[in-house]
Structure 1
Amino acid sequence: MKLTKTLIIIFSALFVAACGGGGSSSPAPTPAPTPAPTPAPTPAPTPAPTPAPESCLVGADTGVSTQDFDGVSKKVCVLTFPDSAPITGDVTLSNDAIYALNGAVFVGNGIGEDGTDAGDDGILTIEAGTTIVGTAGAGFEDATAWVEAVNAGAADVEVSDSDVDYLVVKPGSQIFVEGTASAPVIMTGVSDLTGEVRAGSEAQWGGFVVSGLATQNNCNEADLGTAACVANGEGASGYYGGTNDEDSSGSIEYLQVKYAGYKFSNEDELNGIAFQAVGSGTVLDYIQVHNGSDDGIEFFGGTAGIKHFVVTGASDDSLDWTDGWRGFAQYGVIVQTLFPATDAARSKDNVIEADNYGSDMDRAPRSFPKMANITMVQDYGGDTLLLREGTGAFILNSIIAGNPDDSSYCLDVDDNETYRHAGTAGNMTNISFDGTIFDSVKCSAMAASSGWVDPSSSDEGADVFDIGAELESLDSVMFNATGLHGSKRNAAYLSHPLVNSYHAGKIANANVLDSNLVTEDFIGGVKSDAEDWTVGWTYGLHISNADMQDYCPLGTALTTIKDGGGAACEITATNAAETNIRLVGGGLPYVMKGKLVVGDGTAAGAQYLQVDPGVTIYSDQVAGEGSLTDLDYVVVPTYSKLLVNGAPGAPVTFTSSREVRTSGDSDSSTLSAETTNDWGGLVINGLATQNKCNISDIGTAACTADGEGASGSYGGTNDADNSGNIFYGIVKYAGRKFNNEDELNGVAFQAVGNKTEVDYLQTFNTSDDGVEFFGGTVNAKHLLVMSASDDSIDWTDGWRGKVQHAIVWQNQGQEFAVDRSIEADNYGSDMDRTPRSMPMFANLTIVSQDGQAVLLREGTGLHIYNSVVADEGASTCWDIDDDTTYDFNADGVPGEGHVYRGNLFSCATLAQDDDSGANVAQIEALLSSDTNTASAGGGSLSGYCNGSVESGLTPVAIDDAFFDSTNYVGACASAEADWTLNWAFKPSE
């Protein structure tokens, strides 16, 4: 860092007296008052630094200059205003200097232990772009030691004997932080200024304390509600509290507080920022605390509200309140681990830790904040939310996301008094999460039996109830395991575009509960990338695209793709098996080498692989390189999860490196309509029921099967098992045939449960099947299967899932042979075996090429509604093989398990029989029964979207909550309503 020595100024006696600097031991007289400046508009233009005067106007001149964060060299002024000689009157810190705190710096005299006025007050104004540093925790004894290290000839400044530097605004005084979006005020440790700070640094200085005159409850019971109800602040910050809930301690706008906090004892710790009995007249807007030691932000009583706040990397609790805080909070972002590759070892506790009053939990005024639109991303440590000691809380329209392995509980409500105040099961009035989504792998189940709500011994008493089960029963609270928080590494907290579209109907009216809150049309702290209020003034949340080109996240390593494919991050098999990995977007692509297995298939060894929007994952090898079994593919064993979080315009793509190679025998010029089986595909194993096992084991946990392609065992007894999610995912050129009985598909769902979410999934040019279901209960919406070389959709072994909005489009100009659009089985050697394959389809469009469009055999059933089965060649719509398929259990009930309603069958040939099962007449009777239309060659599709014939049909109602109500048959009502636009891969586009 560039350092320049300025002229050492010999202080005049007048200047020393006014600033309290030099060697004077007498208290500084109060400066002449000047009017407080009007706060700058938000956002204000970046201010130009005031031309530097010859000496510090506030504080002692060190004779040293150093470079500020804005790149300008500025003089260093040391602030020495101890409790005995605080800042009084109006004082402004201009942005022409850098200010070093010399011990504890106080604004105003505050109040005494009885609540009476202790002396003159102060007003401290801090201009936009001003930097204030503390030094005592950064390897320097005090500010002067740092200055001396910078320049051995610096001025001799009298120093404090304090061990830590911090800033305190006392009751009755005010602070006006006038930062802007382009020039925030920064309070930090000096090592941050010198560039020596590390990602995990903390406690570089003491922090920022604001004390007010509002009510709080930490006092003698007899004094509650009187001016004598005061408390003694932590870190010798003085007394606070009073009777004025509308008290104003000023305004704080666009402020960064970094690397703060200090531990005097286990019961006395400074936080990033402490608001002590601060009143509602105080404006708190656009505030970030980063890497605070102890808590990020803590409220001790009072009524202050805060908007647009960010807490990152707090070592204890990110947000803490106690002693009767009744303020509000809206538009918040809390991320416990901002830099996972370097920050994981730092201890962290709860995202929110909330109390009323420990020894008298019903004491009034009771802590009861109202909060809305906050995104919380937990990582490591304690609970996501800990509510105890009688507090109430409304946390509305928010996203609560937690780490699946290393965190403790999603929700911990302690103490009988907390439950009693909350309400009762069925009538919970004072703890609310309306409009909020618990969106994480761990927080997808909340009943006490799930293990994610703390069943601690403190949760005892006559008023305790299963609060997790109560929340889970409410339609207004949502639980997912999607990991939708986060759109890219440099905005790790953002609401995913899908969150609002999925949950818009659940948004709570926050304004009704508190007039300070706005009822927004989104949940979470940030609506979208385009409306991201954190841009431009926060630290660490946004990094440049150039920086992203060198960044590989935890669990990956920088490498290159073969034959000129470019730089990439390699996902190593060892890391995937042992580490939760998030493939962040906005930077390099990723490459898989070999069989990538996520976790080890045990509950203890469960891991997740999370993939952000826009990420591309390439294979290392392509067909013809290495042996037949030497290939790249992804296996998600039982208990582990795959979280594919693509978005419109930014799908997640799994594909062949042939797409990006620029040289060699398999470069991009060899990519064609014939490209397939370049890599293995996706295999997801679950714990749902299936029927491929010893008959004596059916229905037990021992009913497991071995997956194809050495993908491991799958199956169990949990039909509600959760293997993660696939949102806007594309799988291209995948699949591999080892032998006729062992083939990898585009995507294989093996005993996957119905808590797994699949929405917007495409497979293209896959070898063997596009998508195959091996038992299980997984459902899917918006499924697009194009040019699979065998069957487009295949199921077997007892699959009972549901699919809506699905397209099979076989002919994409490829010359390799294709088989059926649907090939479906129950169980080959025991066709009556249960659980019986019995899926339900609605709004399916099949555009078959040749051969059979649909083959049902080996005992499967099928319910199909409002669908279109057509062809572009000379296909047969329907074939039902095997007597058991048509007459399950041979009980004389033909068509048992076959429900066809509201469909159009318009292939060149309607039905076919193969000597076993239903004959042509029986099949045609099914196809033309009820509300179906069977008309060979009678359709009018345009591609896969409806023409006039299809548009003239009337859909039937489906009595199942999974299915959306539609006013059309088929998957695509019209070209204008085509849901494949803006995400799917089309070779002709």
Structure 2
Amino acid sequence: MKKLVFSLAIVGLLFASCTSDDDETTPVVTPPVDSGELTGDVTVSKTLIKGNYTLEGVLKVKSGVTLTVDAGSVITANTASGSSFDAILVEKGGKIIMNGTAAEPIVCTHATKVAGSWGGIIIYGDAPIVGSKKVTSANSEDGITSSEGKAYTYGGSNATDNSGSLKFVRVEYAGKKIADGSSELNGFSFYAVGSGTVLENLVSYKGNDDGFEFYGGTVSAKNLISYGNADDSFDWQDGWRGQENTNWYAYQTGVGNYGMEIESKNEDNDFWPVISGITLKRAAGTVTEDNTPQYDAIQFKSRGNGFYSNILISGYTNPSATAVRIQDEGTNTSQVKANKIKLTDIKINDGTNPFAYKDATITVTFPEGFFVTSTTATGASITPGAWAVIDGVNLLNN
């Protein structure tokens, strides 16, 4: 079994003082220092002091263990060293505490600055899922195996399960395609993560797959930025049911598929996620992966559902695109007609079509009050800061 390796440099204490009592104290942000290498299994609870760390391979936080990372830390993956891929992975029963600040976010990146270079952050919890044929547990879809060579399973019975806290964390250039040749890793992957887990002020930047993906679970997320990810900005399945989601912002540029891909493994669930304050923007000239017709801002399929409000959509002007698409008759019959999909206060700019469906065999008519457009919706309202600035560019300016 691999071990966690830390080569920690001596860190000096820096002090800032005012010249007089009348001066206002300005917080001093000191750069992190080189603090060593991260690799293997974390088997004892540890705190990583603010520093620059190199990630070699998959860092696994084991069950019963808490890994804490100080604000301002930078973790740089380095697959060039010979590892098949790099990722930060929290096993079921483990916890990760990564609480940065607006001024000092925790940045997880790759040395090459190339999309698809590493695996991002992956968390396995113990909250409920509803998979295909109503299974309550399933093998993870990312193709990663445990130290024993077995596929990770997800799905449990603890709706309030706590896998830790991520605040002001940025993941850059993730979306690695792994050894099986078909599985790709997201910026953030949440498998059966419970509502006791805190997800706030997170950025997924220029990954090669989805920005954020939820595989079942009950966790909610606030203040999310998905920027320049090549597949979907936000994606979920397996009966994800987070109830307190607010302020989700997506900007698709270069290559990007759906703004939000919403599905539920064809299971007709009597619950759904709730999200308020959504902004979905697509830059001119953005194409889809392999030129597939996946241009829509929001797509519902396989009985995906949910209640969504205060939505701002712009830039989805391709002739094949629409603001909201109902992809199949099963979703139309069991979700739209059954009042399980609700979109209110929707502002659609740029002449994007309001909603559509796969083909002429489907006739979609939302119940009264369940699809309501607006001229005043504002979408996501997120406070900018250093946590949302990369190479001098404020991601929220778009």
- Bin of the TM-score, shorter chain as denominator length: 0.7 to 0.9
For the 8 Å contact 1:251–1:284, the answer to whether it is kept is: yes
Structure number with higher relative contact order (C-alpha < 8 Å, ≥ 6 residues apart): 2
Report the alpha carbon displacement of residue 415 of structure 1 after superposing the two structures with TM. 2.1
Partner amino acid for 2:68? T
Query: Residue 74 of structure 1 aligns with which residue?
Result: 33
Residue of structure 2 equivalent to 1:299: 214
- Equivalent residue number for residue 45 of structure 2: 90
Shift of 1:220: 6.8
Letter in 2 for 1:525: A
Q: Distance in 2 between matches of 1:455 and 1:398?
A: 22
Secondary structure of the equivalent of 2:123? strand
The Cα offsets for residues 307-331 of structure 1, whole Å up to 9 and x where unpaired, read as 0111100100000001110114211
Alignment of 1:428-467 (within 5 A): 429-443=339-353, 445-446=354-355, 453-456=356-359, 460=361, 464-467=362-365
SS of 1:299's equivalent in the other structure is: strand
Which residues in structure 2 correspond to 1:360-371 (within 5 Å)?
361-362=266-267, 364=269, 368-371=272-275
Q: What is the deviation of 1:78?
A: 1.3
SS of structure 2 residue aligned to 1:214: coil
Q: Which string of whole-angstrom CA distances, capped at 9 and with x for unpartnered residues, describes residues 192-246 of structure 1? A: xxxxx4xxx311222110110001123775xx45xxx343351315222211111
**Equivalent pair of 1:378/1:407 in contact (CA under 8 Å):** no
Which of these residues, 149, 156, 170, is aligned with residue 242 of structure 1? 156
TM-aligned CA deviation for residue 475 of structure 1: 9.4
Cα offsets for 1:345-397 (capped at 9, x unmatched): xx31111111101xxx1255x67211111111024332111110011121111
Deviation, structure 1 residue 103? 0.8
| Secondary structure of the structure 1 residue equivalent to 2:333 | helix
Question: How many angstroms does 1:262 deviate by?
Answer: 0.9
Task: Find the counterpart in structure 1 of residue 373 from structure 2.
Answer: 478
Could you tell me which residue of structure 2 aligns to residue 524 of structure 1?
Answer: 379
Q: CA deviation at 1:411?
A: 2.2
Out of 291, 300, 315, the residue aligned to residue 402 of structure 1 is: 315
Counterpart residue number, 2:93: 172
Q: Post-superposition shift, 1:100?
A: 1.3
**How many residue pairs end up in the alignment?**
361
Counterpart residue type for residue 339 of structure 2: T
Percent identical: 26
Q: Distance in 1 between matches of 2:126 and 2:110?
A: 29
Query: Match of 1:214?
Result: 127
Partner of 1:391: 304
| Distance (Å, rounded) in 1 between the aligned partners of 2:320 and 2:46 | 45
* SS state at 1:433 partner: strand
For the Cα contact (< 8 Å) 1:207–1:261, is it kept in 2?
yes
AA matched with 1:170 = E
In structure 2, the residue matched to 1:538 is 388
Conserved? CA contact 2:218–2:240, under 8 Å: yes
2:139 match = 231
> What's the CA shift string for 1:133-155, capped at 9, x where partnerless?
1121xxx244xxxxxxxxxxxxx
The amino acid across from 2:379 in the alignment is G
- State the match for 1:183 in structure 2: 104
1:267/1:89 CA distance change after superposition, 3 Å: same
Q: Which residue of 2 aligns with 1:916?
A: none
Partner of 2:68: 125
1:400 CA displacement: 1.6
Contact 1:435 1:523 in 2 (8 A): no
Question: Contact 2:162–2:196 (CA<8 Å) still a contact in 1?
Answer: yes
Report whether the alignment pairs 1:281 with 2:196: yes
1:170·1:210 contact (CA, 8 Å) conserved in 2? Answer: yes
What secondary structure sits across from 1:422 in the alignment?
helix
Distance 1:267 1:416 in 2: 29
Q: 1:219 to 1:231 in 2, by over 3 A?
A: farther
Does the 8 A contact of 2:5 with 2:37 survive in 1? Answer: no
Q: CA deviation at 1:18?
A: 7.9
What is the aligned partner in structure 1 of residue 277 from structure 2? 373
What code does the residue aligned with 1:133 have?
T
Q: What TM-score, normalized to structure 1?
A: 0.34
Alignment correspondent of 1:664: none
Normalized per residue, which structure has more strand?
2
CA–CA separation in structure 2 for the residues paired with 1:102 and 1:121: 23
Alpha-carbon separation, structure 2, partners of 1:164 and 1:299? 21
Instruction: Give the letter for the 1:435 counterpart.
Output: D
- 5 Å-filtered alignment, 1:766-915, equals none
TM-score (norm. length: structure 2) = 0.82
Q: How does 1:186-197 map to 2 (within 5 A)?
A: 186-191=107-112, 197=113
Amino acid in the other structure paired with 2:372:
V
Residue 413 of structure 1 and its aligned partner are, at CA, apart by 1.1
CA distance in 2, matches of 1:455, 1:431: 17
State how far apart, in whole Å, the 2-side matches of 1:395 and 1:134 are. 36
2:246 aligned to 330, 343, 364, which one? 330
Q: Distance in 2 between matches of 1:251 and 1:410?
A: 33
Matching residue's letter, 1:466? V
Query: How large is the Cα RMSD of the aligned pairs?
Result: 2.9
1:105 aligned to 2:26? no
1:254 to 2:168 alignment: yes
Give the gaps of 5 or more residues in structure 2: 14-28, 146-151, 289-294
Structure 1 residues 315 and 406, CA, compared in 2 at 3 Å: closer, same or farther?
farther
**Are 1:409 and 1:454, in contact at CA under 8 Å, matched by a contact in 2?**
no
2:210–2:235 Cα contact (<8 Å) kept: yes
Structure 2 contact 133–267 (Cα < 8 Å) conserved: no
Match of 1:724 in 2: none
Q: Distance in 2 between matches of 1:543 and 1:434?
A: 32
Q: What CA deviation, in whole Å up to 9, does each residue of 1:805-849 have, x standing for no partner?
A: xxxxxxxxxxxxxxxxxxxxxxxxxxxxxxxxxxxxxxxxxxxxx
Q: 1:456 to 1:93 in 2, by over 3 A?
A: farther
Contact 1:103/1:165 (CA < 8 Å) preserved in 2?
yes
SS in 2 for 1:205: coil
Q: Are the structure 2 counterparts of residues 89 and 297 from structure 1 closer, same or farther at C-alpha, using a change threshold of 3 Å?
A: same
Superposed CA deviations along residues 663-684 of structure 1, whole A, max 9, x for unmatched, are xxxxxxxxxxxxxxxxxxxxxx
C-alpha deviation, 1:93, in angstroms: 1.2
The alpha-carbon deviation at position 298 of structure 1 amounts to: 0.2
Name the residue aligned to 1:703: none
8 A Cα contact 1:188 1:204, kept in partner: no
SS of the residue 1:419 aligns to: helix
Shift of the 367–164 alpha-carbon distance from structure 1 to 2, 3 Å rule, reads farther
Say which structure is richer in helix: 1
Structure 1 unmatched ranges of 5 or more:
1-16, 23-48, 53-69, 109-119, 143-161, 192-196, 338-343, 447-452, 480-501, 504-521, 527-531, 545-584, 586-611, 613-989
**Counterpart position of 1:11:** none
For the structure 1 residues 299 and 436, does the alpha-carbon distance in structure 2 shift closer, same or farther, using more than 3 Å as the test? same
Change (3 A) 1:187 1:20: closer
Change (3 A) 1:306 1:403: same
Q: State the one-letter code of the partner of 1:79.
A: L
* 1:121, distance to aligned residue in structure 2 (A): 2.2
Match runs of 1:608-687 below 5 Å: none
Distance 1:235 1:367 in 2: 28
Matches within 5 A, 1:542-557: 543=393
Label 1:538 to 1:164 Cα distance change in 2 as closer, same or farther (>3 A). same
Could you tell me which of 36, 51, 73 is aligned with 2:12?
Answer: 51
SS of 2:330's partner is: helix
1:325 is aligned with what amino acid?
Answer: W
Distance 1:190 1:412 in 2: 38
In 1, the alpha carbon distance for the partners of 2:304 and 2:239 equals 8
